[in-house]
Amino acid sequence: MCEDIKPKEVFVEELFSSIAPRYDFLNSLLSFGIHKAWRAYAVKCCRLSSGDAALDVAAGTCDLAIRLSKSVGRDGRVVAVDFCRPMLKVGKKRIEKLNIKNVEVLFGNAKALPAEADTFQASITGFALRNVDDIPAALREMARVTVPGGRVVLLELAKPEGPVFGRLYNFYFERMLPVIGGAISRRFKPYKYLPASLKSFCSREEIAQMMIEAGLHDISIHNLTGGIAAVHVGVK
């Protein structure tokens, strides 16, 4: 089984509270905008149709929820859940600004989702699993609230494949990113935590095994941009 970094929920909540207003800007800057293509791909993997219900778990500033709202259309609905109020506040503002009416933003924990069983055609989480202190519990919850036949989609950073690209990426991710992110956000702790959280994160195969143990099947793994991100898809 993977090494679990077990960050305290208080630590994670405080960390994201401290960077919430700059989170979206820094995401785009530090990933050179690539995260947008990854998000689009992950949302496509949800295979949603007009009128469907979708869930964004650990939604943060609701970027994926906003994308899901387009997939499900006016007749569909999206629920976004997170336990960090400052992140949700930014998300709510974005939703209001875009005049989106089909996204409900809820305070809640990924380990005890505020939703009935068999509710959503797809449940997604983006860049959040590394921060959850009990990944199997979060996966069980995502599976529980998804309808039979529905999809659970996980978008996460991953360890790159290939020695040359891997070394270049590690140099950027471990040396440069903490300095740039820290200097711009004036918060060094979160951007030191980011590479550390990936280093101790589970492998693709371990995540896939946890999905099976959560009751999902037909697991597929999709590597993105040389494997620096990956999407896992499972069917309930």
Residue ranges binding ligand SAM (CB under 6 A): 12-13, 16, 58-60, 63-64, 82-84, 87, 109-111, 126-128, 131-132
Name the minimum Å distance from CB 55 to ligand SAM. Answer: 12
Least distance from C-beta 174 to ligand SAM, angstroms? Answer: 17
55 vs 5, 79, 191, CA distance in Å?
26, 5, 27
Closest C-alpha to 112, from 57, 187, 190: 57
Tokens 């959280």 -> residue = 197
Coil, strand, or helix at residue 204?
A: helix
Q: Which residues contact 201 (CB under 8 A, 6 or more apart)?
A: 2, 5, 129, 130, 156, 157, 159
CA distance linking residue 49 with residue 75, whole number of Å: 10
What's the min distance (Å) between Cβ of 163 and ligand SAM? Answer: 28
Shortest distance in whole angstroms from residue 63 CB to ligand SAM: 5
Question: Is the CB of 90 or the CB of 165 nearer to ligand SAM?
Answer: 90
Distances (CA, A) of 100 to 40, 63, 78, 95, 126: 18, 12, 10, 5, 20
Smaller CB separation from ligand SAM, 62 or 208: 62
Contact 141, 157 (CB under 8 A): no
- Output 11 or 165, the one with its CB closest to ligand SAM: 11
Q: How far is the CB of 128 from ligand SAM (least distance, A)?
A: 4
47 vs 94 by CB, closer to ligand SAM:
94
SS3 45: helix
Give the shortest CB-150-to-ligand SAM separation in angstroms. Answer: 19
**Choice between 137 and 165, CB closer to ligand SAM:** 137
Q: Which residue is nearest to ligand SAM (CB)?
A: 60
Other beta carbons less than 10 A from residue 74's beta carbon: 11
If the CB atoms of residues 126 and 234 are measured against ligand SAM, the closer one turns out to be: 126
Sheet containing 229-235: order of strands = 103-107, 77-82, 53-57, 120-126, 146-157, 229-235, 217-224
